[in-house]
Amino acid sequence: MCTDCGCQIRGHQQILAKPSKAPDIFLGRPERILQGLLQKNDQQADQNRQQFDRHGVLVINLMSSPGSGKTALLEATLKALKGELRMAVIEGDLETENDAKRIRALGITAYQITTGTACHLDAHMVAQALDHLPLKDLDVLFIENVGNLVCPASFDLGHHLNVTLLSVTEGDDKPQKYPVMFRAADLLLITKTDLLPYLPEFSMARATASQRALATKAKLFPLSAKTSEGLSSWTDWMRRQRASYQALLEKGLSLKPRVAQEGKALHLERPEITFKPLTL
């Protein structure tokens, strides 16, 4: 078994051989290697996850469009759980420290990653941020990903759960338009429900059907960070997830987002390498 990613490949020393004479055509025996294109990222993500697990920190990745209320949700959540859980936040944005400042104003540690032009966080950026966070003193770490419904879905950061937000102003068909992102959600939060009276065109039933069509078992909670209506469903969900995460840790196991688990299965596909003479 591969010691790097745990997949079933033979060590490459078995491929190595000393040929006694040069044949005319050098077609390598199709050697089974398995490489997800995100191998480097995934290896770093696994290291991050091991670090989180050593400290027993549950890590939740928040993803959504820009402006769907990730930071407002965090503010409401941090206020609601401040006495109960020790929490910190990694903020991902292209520019500015604005979001981190909002979190720090609540007395919560926040580290801002500014990605410049990159449209997503990756496992290496998160690894660097971890040097600035007191992991041993934390119960839950939130990662607020860059606002984007496309790119962040492809990168494992080493977190345990994906939570995707859909604000009611975005429309109820978003899961159909961005199936990759919404399929990645371990939980879907419909946010800004306080605006529903002004948006008769938004149907909660259509949003639910749109999500269900992606064959995901993710729960869906409507909530408003502004009025706190529905907030307790989300905080209760977090408590349950934390309890099951701790139970897994006691058994020496960990937790991965559902899509990352699938990714592991895909690594079992066996591609091949061929070797040919170089014709100059």
Partner 1 sequence: MHELSLCANLIEQLEQLAVEAAAAKVGRIELKIGVLSGVEPQLMAAAFGMAQVGTIAENAALFIEVTQPVIHCHDCDHEGEVSPQNLLCPHCGSESTELVAGHELILARVELLGSWPDARVNPL
Residues of this chain that interact with partner 1 (CB under 8 A) are: 12, 15-17, 19, 22-23, 26-29, 31, 33-41, 118-120, 122, 150-151, 153-155, 176, 179-181, 183, 212-215, 217, 259, 262-263, 266, 269, 271-279
Strand partners, 63: 164
8 Å CB contact between 15 and 31: yes
Minimum CB distance to partner 1 smaller for 30 or for 134 = 30
Give min distance, CB of 15 to partner 1, in A.
6
Nearest approach, Cβ of 210 to partner 1 (angstroms)? 9
Q: In the bound complex, what is the minimum distance in angstroms from residue 73's beta carbon to partner 1?
A: 23
The span from the CA of 101 to the CA of 217, in Å, is 35
Q: What is the DSSP letter of 110?
A: E
Spatial separation of the C-alpha atoms in residues 149 and 46, rounded to whole Å: 23
Nearest-approach distance from CB 190 to partner 1, in angstroms? 19
- Of 1 and 213, nearer to partner 1 (C-beta) is 213
Nearer Cβ to partner 1 (119/243): 119
**For residues 206 and 239, which CB has a smaller minimum distance to partner 1 in the complex?**
206
CA distances from 181 to 115, 171, 175, 206 (A): 20, 15, 8, 17
**Which one, of 7, 139, 36, lies nearest residue 85 by Cα?**
139
Residue 62, SS3 per DSSP: strand
**Minimum separation from the CB atom of position 54 to partner 1 (A):** 26
Residue nearer to partner 1 on the CB measure, 119 or 253: 119
Q: Are the C-beta atoms of residues 126 and 146 closer than 8 Å to each other?
A: no
- 131 contacts: CB under 8 Å, gap ≥ 6: none
Nearer to partner 1 by C-beta: 137 or 272?
272
Whether residue 154 contacts residue 72, with contact meaning beta carbons closer than 8 Å, is answered with no
Q: How far is the CB of 29 from partner 1 (least distance, A)?
A: 5
